[in-house]
């Protein structure tokens, strides 16, 4: 089960994520076996990888010898039997539970007794995926973010059956690839996709209430909050079909907790096929000669919008800590490096003061009378005791 620089890596699924994982592993000297059942997908993957690496040469970031070395270490294979000599295999196929279970069961029948199995799932239960395996002790979630070669964060998610030795070996391997790893409990959305829900959900709620248009909300988060992208820009980029599906799955997985309630405004966009950049129109219009809504540059309004979304994000981060999903450090690392937030949310809470955050949430809860705005018990405790989330201030 031990992994090192000479370990052979298998990747099942030659889509964007699988190709990215293969690129990372090959860059760090591993022989990689990239499998896909469709020959045309393997060819697409190979061409995509060549284009990406050639651009690195054009920009002076890599030499021709380096990219030739990387490509020589990636073996594009059309049968899982080629995983027989691998030390770890990453599954990176479609985000469908049964498909993943079936694929991993087939791979398990081929690999050695010591080979580690990992799924790159972003939201499915690790326990559910592992239920089809004969040896779930060597299986875990290893969630890369897109684009995998660029994004620094990787969530490591052991399942209920995963042996700690397996988790430790896998985490050391990913860390050796210059990635920032965080350990997360096997719960819906893990860290990032759980804690980030209010960034979209509360922005959509403000929009639906008619408090501000989408451009104003994006302006407030970017200019006043320091976020690299506004929530509506980001939803348009991700694709509303994808973003809505994740929100809906998290909502169902949390037994319809109102904190994660999906938005009718976004549902209507999906129903109309207005999926964002990939369809040419979402909240913004990306077509030629389009006239887009301008933001209303009112700083008072902007700060109200920012604060409302921010306290909801902080409350969700506090809940992840309260429910032992991850440590203080890992929650903040995850949000800074998984979704490029300007600060860790618990670090931000300490700067603003837990008392202030609690007061803002209580005001929202009093006004709306909704359980959606209930303050987390840990946040309430910190405010009561005059404590902070991080020990050193």
Domain boundaries, the chain: 9-186, 191-388
Active site residue 122: yes
Residues 236, 258: contact at Cβ < 8 Å? Answer: no
C-alpha to C-alpha distance for 208 and 283, rounded to whole angstroms: 13
pTM reported for the whole predicted model: 0.94
Active site residue 143: yes
CATH 1.10.1040.50 matches 191-388? yes
Q: Report residue 146 as tokens.
A: 């897109």
The residue annotated as part of the active site, out of 7, 125, 193, 307, is 193
pLDDT recorded at residue 36: 96
Q: What confidence tens digit (pLDDT) does each residue in 52-68 have?
A: 999 999 999 999 999 99
* 116 to 135, 142, 171, 319: CA distances (angstroms): 10, 11, 12, 31
Active site residue 120: no
The residue annotated as part of the active site, out of 7, 119, 120, 143, is 143
pLDDT recorded at residue 1: 63
Active site residue 193: yes
> What value, to the nearest 5°, has the Cα angle with vertex 219 and ends 214 and 222?
125
The residue annotated as part of the active site, out of 7, 122, 263, 307, is 122
Give the residue ranges of the chain where pLDDT is below 70: 1, 392-393
Q: What's the CATH fold of domain 9-186?
A: Rossmann fold (3.40.50)
> What value, to the nearest 5°, has the Cα angle with vertex 141 and ends 135 and 146?
145
């Amino acid at each position: 089960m031990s992994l090192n620089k000479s370990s052979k890596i298998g990747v099942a699924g030659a889509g964007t994520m699988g190709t990215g994982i293969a690129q990372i592993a090959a860059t760090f000297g591993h022989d990689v076996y990239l499998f896909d059942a469709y020959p045309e997908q393997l060819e697409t993957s190979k061409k995509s990888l060549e284009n990406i690496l050639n651009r690195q040469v054009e920009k002076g970031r890599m030499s021709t010898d380096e990219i030739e070395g990387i490509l020589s270490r990636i073996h594009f294979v059309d049968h899982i039997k080629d995983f027989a000599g691998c030390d770890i295999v990453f599954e990176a196929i479609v985000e469908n539970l049964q498909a993943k279970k079936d694929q991993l069961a087939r791979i398990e029948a081929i690999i050695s007794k010591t080979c580690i199995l990992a799924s790159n799932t972003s939201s499915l239960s690790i326990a559910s995926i592992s239920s089809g395996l004969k040896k779930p002790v060597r299986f875990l979630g290893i969630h890369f973010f897109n684009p995998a070669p660029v994004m620094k964060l990787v969530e490591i998610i052991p399942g209920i059956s995963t042996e700690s030795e397996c988790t430790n070996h896998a985490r050391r391997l990913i860390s050796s690839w210059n990635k920032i790893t965080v350990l997360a409990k096997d719960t819906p959305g893990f860290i990032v996709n759980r804690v980030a829900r209010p960034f979209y959900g509360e922005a959509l709620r403000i929009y639906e209430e008619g408090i501000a248009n989408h451009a104003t909300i994006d302006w407030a988060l970017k200019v006043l909050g320091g976020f690299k992208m506004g929530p509506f820009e980001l939803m348009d980029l991700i694709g509303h079909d994808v973003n809505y599906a994740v929100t809906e799955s998290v909502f169902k997985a949390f037994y319809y907790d109102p904190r994660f309630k999906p938005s009718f405004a976004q549902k209507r966009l999906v129903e109309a096929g207005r999926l964002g950049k990939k369809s040419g129109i979402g909240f913004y219009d990306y077509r030629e000669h389009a006239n887009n809504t301008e933001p209303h540059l009112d700083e008072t309004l902007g700060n109200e919008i920012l604060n409302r979304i921010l306290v909801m994000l902080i409350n969700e981060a506090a809940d992840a800590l309260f429910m032992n999903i991850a440590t203080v450090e890992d929650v903040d690392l995850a949000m800074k490096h998984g979704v490029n937030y300007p600060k860790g949310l618990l670090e931000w809470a300490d700067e603003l003061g837990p008392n202030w955050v609690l007061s803002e949430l209580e005001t929202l809860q009093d006004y709306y009378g909704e359980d959606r705005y209930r303050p987390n018990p840990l946040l309430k405790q910190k405010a009561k005791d005059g404590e902070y989330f991080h020990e050193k201030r």
